[in-house]
Amino acid sequence: EVQLVESGGGLVKPGGSLRLSCAASGFPFSSYTIIWVRQAPGKGLEWVSSISSSSSYMGYADSVKGRFTISRDNSKNSVYLQMNSLRAEDTAVYFCARRRGNSGNYDSWGQGTLVTVSS
Amino acid sequence: AIQLTQSPSSLSASVGDRVTITCRASQAIRHDLGWYQHKPGKAPKLLIYAASTLQTGVPSRFSGSGSGTDFTLTISSLQPEDFATYYCLQDYNYPYTFGQGTKLEIK
């Protein structure tokens, strides 16, 4: 069974840092692009970042570029999102998802982890 | 960045109704678009990818069409479990973007 499990969320003060993890199982992890998506309270879904299977390609939303860094460790079947200089507007549930093939195909998602940025 | 504009933003409909949601891209994105259903407290669920390919296990009442800049998601006969928020997502190029969402409510 394909599984993605996010962890690392919590309460952090503005300007602080947090590292999210996405642990995968049930599929050949090293062959798949992984993305992070977030949903702020009362808002829609927002794509945050992507990393290709071999870490050759990475992308970021303009809202997080320069503050967030995505990485992966294929030996640990995990993707990470290092979040620095956090702001109140980064408060959201963060989901990771697996890209299968191409063309908008993100077929498996985790249940999300909540990040709250507040003093 | 490519903008995706969904319409309508919200929609009231009844069980059995046919519903169509549109997603317009600010530039051509071939068929690099997926449709997602999202319910509160749950993970988003893939319905359609490559603009018109039904994801395995998704009921056939869901269908997608379009390419280039104009896309549609159609639900042929609404069921009670279909009331949710729907999003389109483009991954043609970075930064990937979602539409703002269409909230489908029971009339």
Q: Does A61 touch chain B (CB under 8 A)?
A: yes
Nearest-neighbour CA in chain A from B81: distance (Å): 19
Give the whole-angstrom CA distance, residue A28 versus residue B27.
34
Distances in Å between the Cα of B44 and the Cα atoms of A24, A73, A76, A96, A106 are 17, 25, 25, 10, 9
Q: Among A50, A95, A104, whose Cβ lies nearest the Cβ of B34?
A: A104
Confidence (pLDDT) at B39 = 97
In A, which residues are within 8 Å of B31 by CB distance? 103
Give the whole-angstrom CA distance, residue B105 versus residue A67.
37
Sign of CA pseudo-dihedral A65, A4, A57, B89: negative
Looking at per-residue confidence, does B107 or B12 come out higher? B12
In B, which residues are within 8 Å of A45 by CB distance? 36, 38, 44, 87, 89, 98, 101
In A, which residues are within 8 Å of B46 by CB distance? 105-107
Confidence (pLDDT) at B83 = 93
Q: How confident is the model at residue A101 (pLDDT cuts 50, 70, 90)?
A: confident
Q: What percent of chain B has pLDDT over 70?
A: 100
Mean pLDDT of chain A: 97
Confidence (pLDDT) at A22 = 98
Does the structure show a pLDDT above 90 at A35?
Answer: yes
Q: Does A107 touch chain B (CB under 8 A)?
A: yes
Looking at per-residue confidence, does A101 or A95 come out higher? A95
Mean pLDDT score, B66-93: 97
Whether B98 and A60 lie within 8 Å, measured CB to CB: no
Give the whole-angstrom CA distance, residue B9 versus residue B55.
24
Q: Look at strands A34-39 and A58-60 and give their pairing.
A: unpaired
Mean pLDDT score, B69-90: 97
Closest residue in chain A to residue B44, using alpha carbons only: A109
Q: How confident is the model at residue A102 (pLDDT cuts 50, 70, 90)?
A: confident
